[in-house]
Structure 1
Amino acid sequence: MRRIVFTGFILIAALHVFAQKDSTVHPKPAVTLPRSNDHLILQFGYTAWNGTPDTINTSGFHRAFNAYFMFDFPFKSNPHFSAAIGAGVSTENVYFDKTIVDIKSTSSSLQFRDASDTNHFKKFKIATTFLEAPVELRYNANPENNNKSFKIAVGAKIGTLLNAHTKGKELQNKGGGTVNDYITKENTKRFFNQNRISLTGRIGYGNLSIFGSYAVTPLFKEGLAPTIRPFTFGIMLSGL
């Protein structure tokens, strides 16, 4: 009788211990970090021409505006780093002081004609629009909270010229008097390089950054105009 009671006690204790163990294997939930929110990028900046000869008189605030949509691919080995690629457009407006740039000229080279001693436009600019594909290597200090994180990115962008034109407003005489208050616009890509490669970089916190870009390829075709490489810097807003 004692043996039966003892054996029953052992079985009950063993069943109790076994019941404490969960034989089901529960996989650990995967920890996924949100991707960088820098999908939509808007850039507002100042652009200038590196290599501009002294004979070319630029003036005013040369505006630039860029807009891109980019796809971000975080590194599995380190979520602080990611690669991004996208597409968008960039626009640049460079203004001149009492200078006429005749991009429709049949001349073998592009002339920047000083018109300070004759009729000239009060406002005159060259405007370009590029379709671009940017690529970036990104670092995000806090990928779990993108809106409160230090960020840095370096990369490049490849572009093709969509439009190049000049625009003159209000024709004046050499004394500054109005001769004719009208607007003239000429479109042609003859003197411009059709493709452009630029180096890029940016640094910031949250959705606000400062950025810069430098064109490796000249703006104008070789032998047709001075070797000018545009560069741009300004502020950037990012989101989505």
Structure 2
Amino acid sequence: MIKRLALAAVLLLPATLHAQDVVKGSSNTAVQVEKPARDFVMLQVAYEGWKAPDSVKTTGFGRAFNAYICYDFPFSPKSNFSFAAGIGIGSSNVYLDDQQIILTDTIAKQARFIAETDNFKKYKLTTAYVEAPFELRFYGNQANRNKGFKAAAGLRVGTLVGAHTKSKDGDTKIVEKVNTKNFLESWRFATTLRLGWGNFSVFGAYNLTDLYKEGQGPKITPYQVGLCITGL
């Protein structure tokens, strides 16, 4: 009988302690503390445009997609500011308007944009970068960063890992793809700005470097405007 009572006391002890904690908690006024989101993940979809001379003609909706994994370093436990750094990929597709890019000029050794003569239905340049974003961040809601106003300004550093032109013939529907990074600038630097609420924001990015190396193509400066989703 004594053994049974002892066993019952052992089994009831955790529940009794938990009940005591609840009572103790209910008798005191406590501040609710939520683990702040660090915005580890950033996904961006955007329009990509070119600031370019009149000789370069684009058409349609240039598309860009960026995905980053970031780590956030708060300035202090009570600060609304933090610094973030990360790594990820950035890719874009820009369509030309009745033009094509000549990349086989061994005399001038530069990319040339000329009027297309092959009846292309579509012609685009695709680029892909491995990038590292750096941001100075502000959070309006210190307790829960998934809510409230957010702002971030920073710099994006990327290195070119792939590029190709792709054309589709309007009559035969033959698709021709040329993989080459020839004449393109190997590195890109861009300033960035994000403004939003909760997990959603709008962002802009403007390149500090041109698309082509100096003297090896027209002076083209890419920029992006789009939507960003952050979380975790």
TM-score (norm 2): 0.82
Kindly tell me the number of residue pairs found equivalent between the two proteins.
201
Q: CA deviation at 1:185?
A: 0.5
Letter in 2 for 1:101: I
Deviates more, 1:222-231 or 1:95-104: 95-104
Instruction: State how far apart, in whole Å, the 1-side matches of 2:53 and 2:219 are.
Output: 9
1:59 aligns to what SS in structure 2?
Answer: strand
State yes or no: 1:48 paired with 2:58.
no
2:197 to 177, 200, 205: 205
Question: Which structure has the greater CA radius of gyration?
Answer: 1
1:89 aligns to what SS in structure 2?
Answer: strand
Instruction: State how far apart, in whole Å, the 2-side matches of 1:57 and 1:227 are.
Output: 13
Letter in 2 for 1:42: L
Runs of 4+ in 1 over 6 A off after TM superposition: none
- Aligned-pair identity in percent equals 43
2:146 aligns to what SS in structure 1?
Answer: helix
The residue number in structure 2 matching 1:123 is 122
Instruction: State how far apart, in whole Å, the 2-side matches of 1:33 and 1:155 are.
Output: 27
The residue number in structure 2 matching 1:136 is 135
State yes or no: 1:216 paired with 2:208.
yes
5+ residue gaps, structure 2: 1-31
Instruction: State how far apart, in whole Å, the 2-side matches of 1:88 and 1:77 are.
Output: 27
Contact 1:104 1:187 in 2 (8 A): no
Instruction: State how far apart, in whole Å, the 1-side matches of 2:193 and 2:78 are.
Output: 21
Instruction: State how far apart, in whole Å, the 2-side matches of 1:106 and 1:34 are.
Output: 59
Q: CA deviation at 1:105?
A: 4.2
Instruction: State how far apart, in whole Å, the 1-side matches of 2:218 and 2:40 are.
Output: 37
5+ residue gaps, structure 1: 1-30, 173-177
Contact 1:35 1:143 in 2 (8 A): yes
The residue number in structure 2 matching 1:8 is none
Instruction: State how far apart, in whole Å, the 2-side matches of 1:217 and 1:232 are.
Output: 14
Instruction: State how far apart, in whole Å, the 2-side matches of 1:138 and 1:36 are.
Output: 13
